[in-house]
Structure 1
């Protein structure tokens, strides 16, 4: 059985949700970042950590990719053009959405106060809005980012959009607002978020 370490208000939500979508059994340890239960498996103290057969796997995207590949769902097969498009979307979301939100969080409450630059958040919001416009042009027709099939980037984008609203980064594109509401209504998402 898989063990997921990390609280559902962190990137661990991505892993919890994917496991719920796959219908796989898992144990959830709601440990906070840098706590003893996390540092034991990841010296950086970051969550999530997935334990599979005694082996820790870190970084939410690596975990999502591993699980999707292992179980042959929520992904396109490696070596296909669809997988290349999927990986391209994943990288775009990490570079343009996740990175902006993470940097804003660091300058809001993670860095020592004397190292924080509050003005950077305005620039990051501007970049986040610009990235939404680019993403909308990359969206396929259908319910999900790539069309009619849910994939790993859908989990990353939904998590980033929820995080954005919490961080007061506006979602300015109506297609993304509609998309977010559809994704949050998924029973597997709701089960993961409720943990």
Structure 2
């Protein structure tokens, strides 16, 4: 049986701070895939419990042995390397390709969605540029076509093995639908449906 998160259990090896509606979902999902018990504190960005560990106020924050780790990609990489799953070994060509795909997703998918969010509700209203979202949607659709050409054959981004880029891509595509950024590639639509049916994803999303 997969260990379940218990927000009351201070003995859990990991603590994840951040709401499931943020990039914290990536970390919660990975811990579910790894079968690792954790404590979840669903704090909002810039909340008092967040700023104490990350002065920037951003989530997620992972606390391991009293040490906070920030940035969702850094956390995913740390957990994958520590537990030897959802990643290829460092120093291999497969890992280089994995890291390249991860960076592509951060640059082309995550960055576009975050910039759209900033100009929708994050920035002060007088600083928002609503027209920029049309450009970002166009770039997002173009990036989808590029990604499809880079994906290997198989159920996952890199083929038959689920890795860190799968968690980032699934989260970004889910975020895109919420932000009304169309997923125009049929392969990505099928991929997203398949990934969101994974039991570990469903457990994390239900928190």
Question: TM-score interval w.r.t. the shorter chain?
Answer: over 0.9
CA distance in 2, matches of 1:9, 1:110: 15
Matched, 1:193 2:205: yes
Q: CA RMSD in A?
A: 0.2
Structure 1 residue matching 2:16: 3-state secondary structure: strand
Structure 2 residue matching 1:192: 3-state secondary structure: helix
Q: How many residues align?
A: 195
Say which of 22, 40, 52 aligns to 1:40.
Answer: 52
What corresponds to 1:151 in structure 2?
163
Shift in Å at residue 114 of structure 1? 0.3
Say which of 184, 191, 194 aligns to 1:172.
Answer: 184
- Greater RCO, 1 or 2 (C-alpha within 8 Å, sep 6+): 1
Name segments (4+ residues, structure 1) moved above 6 Å: none
CA distance in 1, matches of 2:91, 2:169: 23
Shift in Å at residue 86 of structure 1? 0.1
CA distance in 1, matches of 2:149, 2:160: 17
Shift in Å at residue 141 of structure 1? 0.5
**TM-score, structure 1 length as denominator?**
1.00
Say which of 105, 118, 128 aligns to 1:116.
Answer: 128
- The answer for unaligned runs of 5 or more in structure 2 is 1-12
What corresponds to 1:75 in structure 2?
87
CA distance in 2, matches of 1:113, 1:139: 38
Say which of 6, 19, 22 aligns to 2:34.
Answer: 22
CA distance in 1, matches of 2:57, 2:206: 23
Matched, 1:142 2:184: no
- The answer for unaligned runs of 5 or more in structure 1 is none
